[in-house]
Amino acid sequence: MKKIQTGSFLLALIFLSSCSVSKKINRPAKNYLLNNEALVSAHTGISIYEPATGRYWYNYQGDKYFVPASNTKLVTCYSAMKYLGDSLVGIKYNILNDSTVVVEGAADPTFLHSDFKNQPVYNFLKRFKSVQIVNSDFNDFLGNGWSWGDYKEDYMSQRSSFPVYGNVVKFKLNNSQALSVVPSFFKSHSTVKENLSNGFRVEKPWEQNEFTFFEGREKSADVPFTPDEITIRNLLQDTLHQSITLIDNYLSKPAQIIYSQPTDSLLKITMHRSDNFFAEQTLLMVSNALLGVMDDRKIIDTLLKTDFKLLPQKPGWADGSGLSRYDLFSPKDFVFILDKMKNEFGMDRIKTILPTGGAGTISSYYRADSGYIFVKTGTLNGVVALSGFLYTRKNKLLIFSVLVNNHRSSATSIRKAIEKFIQNVRDNN
């Protein structure tokens, strides 16, 4: 009888084990996803990977490209975890004298944002009678491939080098049916045309920060404003009650730094709420930290040539948030990125940033699996995505990505189908 080589025997065992696991997952994948009535006409990709053994348990179109929606934030999150340090740069500054300071924006989205009560930058600026802001060349307010028709929606706040109040105006009808406006600077830019006793709808021209109110159904609304230099100056002047001036061609680039918030506090909100504005500003902060300029295209090109040069499929990466339909990633790409995140930063840090079952964007899902699943969701019209980490009943750590494109069903039905599939993988392995 021919003797089997030990190495070949081990490889055969690994191959048979891999086939066994793949078969075990293949049936629920077909039952819950691939043969699901809501998904049979959709484009679906699934990858499940076990980092401890370095092998894929399952792949179905794992190397195909998909629009990932907010799963794109995972790429931005990795970049921020690596390059932004433990605290965000709020502003850079030079003090001219006891009463005057020159400042340069650093793309920090937390300045005067309602999510952050502690405001180190605001406290610093209040020390001076005069604030001079160095004009930036940044005017790419919208990302590449965004649907510009959504410019009035709260999920599409415009980007800027010096964000203030999240670059949105908050409107709300109070108990006396009077209209509350925050920041109050925009009260003089708000015009009520009809009776608002039952609610309102708000209109804003594309090219102007002027808001007009008509009778409608809304009791509150967050509407993005265009953060051009003049608007930011006037808004800061109204908020700080100081002299604010804009300066060009400042020869001595501000070098001193005021830090604002812990980096992971921003990333946690970004990932739990899937905050597009925070994600976009985060990518600009990474660009500023690495390249000295706020340019999403340049930083994406740089990261794809360095940190992400070994991605299984070279992605089409267009923005920081996933709002763009130009974003194209494969399930295997997300497995690679998540594995890289785990290896470089550890699961303890990841667990503080990504939501688990019953929290954030999965507050209605995976409640029985809380503490065992840590993921990022993604949703656009016709797109549902879920990528992250899963601990099985036998405490095996898996990295997975499920991407669904071109479905014509409800996003809720797709999410529930994915939930049943993932729970089956967890319960039976």
Whether the CB-CB separation of 84 and 425 falls below 8 Å is answered with no
The torsion angle over the Cα atoms of residues 213, 216, 219 and 223, rounded to 10 degrees, is -50
In 10 A of CB 12, how many CB atoms? Answer: 12
Buried b (16+ CB within 10 A) or exposed e, 149-182: eebbeeebbbbbbbbbbbbbbbbebeeeeebebe
- What's the token pair of residue 280? 């976009």
Model confidence at 174, pLDDT cuts 50, 70, 90, reads confident
CA distance to 84, 379, 404, 409, 418, per residue, from 412 (Å): 35, 10, 13, 8, 10
Give the start-end residues of each E strand in 68-225.
87-97, 100-105, 130-134, 168-173, 179-182, 190-192, 200-203, 211-215, 220-224
Domain definitions of the chain by residue range: 25-82+266-427, 165-226
Domain 25-82+266-427 bears CATH identifier 3.40.710.10: yes
Residue-wise pLDDT tens digits, 401-425: 999 999 999 999 999 999 999 999 9
Pairing of β 168-173 and β 100-105: unpaired
Q: Is the pLDDT of residue 7 over 60?
A: no
Q: Under a CB-based contact definition with an 8 Å cutoff, are residues 267 and 84 in contact?
A: no
Nearest to 375 by CA among 71, 72, 76, 75: 71
Structure confidence at residue 393 (pLDDT): 96
pLDDT tens column, 195-243 = 998 999 999 999 899 999 999 999 999 999 999 999 999 999 999 999 9
CB half-sphere exposure, 88, CA atoms < 13 A: 29
Q: What is the pLDDT of residues 271-309, one digit of tens each?
A: 999 999 999 999 999 999 999 999 999 999 999 999 999
pLDDT at 15: 45
Spell out the residues 6+ positions from residue 191 whose beta carbon is closer than 8 angstroms to its own: 210, 211, 212, 213
Listed in sequence order, the DSSP H helices in 150-259 are: 229-240
Residues 6+ apart with CB under 8 A from 362: 355, 356, 373, 375, 377
Query: Is the confidence at residue 11, as pLDDT, over 80?
Result: no
CA angle 327, 328, 334 (to 5 degrees): 110
Residues whose CB is less than 8 angstroms from the CB of residue 69 and which lie 6 or more positions away in sequence, other chains included = 322, 327, 378, 379, 380, 383, 384, 385
> Residue 23 has what pLDDT?
75
| Predicted pLDDT at 137 | 82
Cis peptide upstream of residue 355 (ω within 30 degrees of 0):
no
The helix/strand/coil state of 108 is coil
- Contact between residue 144 and residue 319 where contact means Cβ atoms under 8 Å apart: yes
Distance CA 212, CA 221 (A): 13
